């Protein structure tokens, strides 16, 4: 209830940011194409990895945005004083980031399919893996976002903290996407399980840790 | 016997153990053809470094846990976590370098995406992030809290990373020419030297953490003194302001 | 095939050098801090 309300409020505010983060994802797709010398076969084969790399980079921006908003208006204090349970705040923020990421993924996905010459297959796997991965990414980013919140070096610290931690998601997401696109969706399910397990773990950890982290000393 | 004497003795013992390791590793043990002839001697550096890296990380996580639990909370655990992490980074970095130096003559390449090296690379960055986080804390309590949670999340993440990378590698292995096995079938003098090396490096780890921990305590003390100094200055300034307006 | 000794020497040198430097660095910093301390104060 309250959480959903906060979720929507964040999204409405963030719609401005969506106009910057999504294009960023698109540009990264272009950058990779230039980096790989517009080699069609190479791009097509590397598409799952490049897709998720672009999403990962854009996620860093999204997390930064999510917490910059808090800091701008001393909203952090507002959050604490609102009486909302720490876990609920966490789920709300993470859900907002996840929603943004999903929109981003659709757009970047279209760009990748078009520019890297990809044939879409295994839709079910793509959707399941995509959602599980997104939840994992959003939750991890939100946890580290609040962990580094209020620190001057936050913007550079969060990427350094988040990226090594989400390597399992990177692996699971690219492998399952690869399996789906290769026409062997059955191979993907173990990876999807990994993604789901990771998502469950990090959401649980975040729910517990968010409250204490929000309290200032 | 004072603490300093014990420390000196410990250092001496560590150096002896390390020296013995070097003698065995570089002279007594034989070269092995399958593992790059003489290059196999790097095994006695690589494995101990790996062991120490994981040990250090484990201790950082455990100390962080002790700090988080209110009943056992103490600045000691926070400082220990930080000291162990820094020493751990050093050994992790060394492990990667030595692994690379061993890979070159053995596999023909400086790097191989085998599960252990890849996991270690990620471990290295997890550590670096943690150390960066340590330097930004406001108060000791605030820093302790953030770092402790970061350490525990990272620690829980390592097995997941290892598991997923191992799995990834198992799938890759079907096509590779190389057999990136860093597991060596060892026996006799090699086994002994390896155990000796691990023991010696563990002692070295203990010594380095001890020194680093003491340094951390000193730094903490200096920060507190500077803080009190600044407060005293402030008070003095305010008092003189009250006297002056005539 | 004994030219692999290069790698061994490089490895042992790097490890020894790094660990020695690190130990020295920590000890020097500690010594400097100890000197700035006022008289032995017990907490």
pLDDT for A158-184, tens place per residue? 999 999 999 999 999 999 999 888 888
Whether pLDDT at B227 is above 70: yes
Q: Which residues of C touch B (CB under 8 A)?
A: 1-2, 4-5, 7-8, 10-12, 14-15, 18-19, 22-23, 26-27, 29-30, 33-34, 36-37
List pLDDT tens digits, range A114-128: 888 888 888 888 999
Nearest to B39 among C8, C22, C26 (CB): C8
In chain A, the number of structural domains is 1
Q: Identify which of A75-89, B102-116, B120-134 has the greatest average pLDDT.
A: B120-134
Segment C6-37, tens digit of pLDDT? 888 999 999 999 999 999 999 999 999 888 77
| Nearest in space to A90 (alpha carbons), one of A205, A217, A216, A198 | A205
What pLDDT is stored for residue A137 in this prediction? 94
Taking CB atoms and an 8 Å limit, are B97 and C26 in contact across chains? no
> What is the structure's pLDDT at B244?
61
**Model pTM?**
0.85
* Residue A19 or residue B32, greater confidence: A19
B129 and chain C in contact, CB less than 8 A: no
Say whether pLDDT at B37 is over 80: no
Nearest CA in chain C to B218: C33
Q: Residue B82 above 80 pLDDT? A: yes
At C43 the pLDDT is 45
Structure tokens, A99: 């929603």
Q: Longest Cα pair distance anywhere in chain A, in angstroms?
A: 55
What is the rounded average pLDDT of the residues A35-42? Answer: 82
Task: List, in sequence order, every beta strand (DSSP E) within chain B.
Answer: none
Nearest to B118 by CA among A164, A13, A163, A200: A164
Instruction: Give the pLDDT of residue C2.
Output: 59
Judged against a pLDDT cut of 70, whether residue A23 lies above it is answered with yes
- Tokens 């890297």 — which residue? A116
Q: In terms of residues, how long is chain B?
A: 246
In degrees and rounded to multiples of 5, residue B37 shows phi and psi of 55, -115
Residue span of the structural domain in which A197 resides? 2-214
Please give the pLDDT value at position A217: 37
Provide the residue ranges of all domains of chain B, joining segments of one domain with +: 3-173+180-219
Check pLDDT > 70 for residue B184.
no
Token pair belonging to C19 = 């660990």
Q: Please give the Cα distance from B49 to B55 (Å, whole number).
A: 10
**At which residue do the structure tokens 């471990």 appear?**
B123
Q: What is the pLDDT of residue B198?
A: 94
- HSE of A94, CA atoms in CB hemisphere, 13 A: 28
> Higher model confidence: residue A8 or residue A148?
A148
Distance CA B89, CA B124 (A): 6
Distance CA C28, CA A77 (A): 43
């Amino acid at each position: 209830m309250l959480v959903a309300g906060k979720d929507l409020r964040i999204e409405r505010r963030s719609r401005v940011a969506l106009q910057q983060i999504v294009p960023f994802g698109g540009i990264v797709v272009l950058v990779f194409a230039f980096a790989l010398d517009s080699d069609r076969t190479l791009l097509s084969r590397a598409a799952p990895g490049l897709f998720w790399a672009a999403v990962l980079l854009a996620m860093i921006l999204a997390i930064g945005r999510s917490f910059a908003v808090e800091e701008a208006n001393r909203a952090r204090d507002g959050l604490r004083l609102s009486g909302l349970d720490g876990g609920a705040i966490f789920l709300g923020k993470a859900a907002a980031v996840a929603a943004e990421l999903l929109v981003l993924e659709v757009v970047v996905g279209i760009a990748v399919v078009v520019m890297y010459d990809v044939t879409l297959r295994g839709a079910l796997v793509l959707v399941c893996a995509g959602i599980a991965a997104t939840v994992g990414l959003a939750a991890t980013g939100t946890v580290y976002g609040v962990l580094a919140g209020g620190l001057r070096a936050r913007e550079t610290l969060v990427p350094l903290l988040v990226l090594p931690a989400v390597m399992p998601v990177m692996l699971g997401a690219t492998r399952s996407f690869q399996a789906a696109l290769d026409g062997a969706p059955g191979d993907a399910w173990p990876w999807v399980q990994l993604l789901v397990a990771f998502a469950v773990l990090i959401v649980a950890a975040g729910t517990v840790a968010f409250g204490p982290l929000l309290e200032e000393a | 016997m004072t603490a300093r004497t014990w420390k000196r003795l410990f250092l001496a013992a560590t150096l002896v153990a390390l020296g013995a390791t070097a003698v065995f590793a570089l002279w007594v043990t034989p070269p092995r053809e399958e593992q790059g002839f003489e290059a196999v001697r790097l095994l006695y550096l690589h494995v101990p470094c790996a062991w120490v890296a994981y040990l250090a990380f484990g201790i950082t996580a455990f100390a962080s846990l002790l700090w988080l639990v209110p009943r056992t909370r103490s600045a000691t655990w926070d400082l220990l976590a930080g000291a162990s992490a820094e020493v751990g980074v050093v050994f992790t970095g060394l492990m990667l370098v030595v692994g690379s130096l061993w890979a070159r003559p053995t596999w023909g390449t400086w790097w191989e995406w085998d599960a252990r090296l890849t996991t270690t690379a990620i471990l290295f960055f997890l550590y670096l992030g943690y150390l960066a986080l340590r330097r930004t804390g406001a108060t000791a309590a605030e820093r302790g809290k953030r770092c402790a949670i970061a350490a525990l999340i990272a620690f829980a993440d390592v097995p997941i990373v290892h598991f997923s990378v191992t799995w990834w590698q198992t799938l890759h292995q079907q096509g590779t020419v190389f057999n990136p096995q860093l597991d060596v079938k060892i026996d006799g003098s090699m086994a002994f030297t390896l155990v000796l090396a691990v023991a010696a490096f563990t002692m070295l780890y203990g010594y380095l953490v001890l020194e680093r921990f003491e340094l951390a305590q000193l730094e903490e003390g200096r920060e507190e003194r500077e803080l009190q100094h600044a407060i005293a200055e402030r008070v003095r300034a305010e008092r003189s302001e009250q006297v002056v307006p005539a | 095939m004994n030219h692999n000794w290069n790698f061994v020497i490089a490895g042992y040198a790097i490890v020894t050098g790094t660990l020695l430097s690190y130990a020295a660095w920590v000890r020097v910093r500690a010594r400097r801090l100890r000197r700035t301390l006022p008289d032995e104060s017990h907490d």
